[in-house]
Amino acid sequence: MQLRRRLRKLLVTRRKLNALIYVIGKAAGDINIFSIRKAFEDTYASIQDETYIISDVKWIAVDQQVSVCMYQFRSNGLVNRKRQVHAGKGTNVLKRINDNWQIIHEHLSKEKE
């Protein structure tokens, strides 16, 4: 159970990287750790009154080196004073690297409207 609790915490922090991935994909020029950090901070500073919830977590593979889970997510926040609500399904693959769990793959699917 302790392993599952740690992995669940990783899922919540991982969603913050989604905006970073978008910014990197759109970035032009030299990318370094400082520009990545600034893009990450700027993106999340623009989201006000945010909530992000994962539920219905199903661990479909769990061992000492690799774990995979599926879940439902829902996010809600203000961007430029406009309410943004997103919901869908997520899948994460986590791998133990140097005794730390790291998310090595994430897939998010938007809920059908």
pLDDT category at 47 given cuts 50, 70, 90 is: confident
Distance CA 92, CA 7 (A): 10
Question: What is this structure's pTM?
Answer: 0.62
Q: What is the CATH number of the domain that holds 54?
A: 3.10.450.50
Distance CA 70, CA 14 (A): 14
Q: What is the pLDDT of residue 22?
A: 45
pLDDT category at 28 given cuts 50, 70, 90 is: very low
Q: Please check whether residue 65 is in contact with residue 96, taking contact to mean a CB–CB distance below 8 angstroms.
A: yes
Q: What is the pLDDT of residue 2?
A: 52
Selection from 15, 81, 27, 92 nearest residue 53 by Cα: 15
Domain of 79, in residue numbers? 2-110
> Across the chain, what does the average pLDDT equal?
77
The number of distinct structural domains making up the chain is 1
Q: What is the pLDDT of residue 39?
A: 76
Q: What is the pLDDT of residue 12?
A: 47
Q: What is the pLDDT of residue 32?
A: 64
pLDDT of 19 above 70: no
53-107 pLDDT, tens digit per residue, is: 999 999 999 999 999 999 999 989 998 889 989 899 999 999 998 988 888 888 9
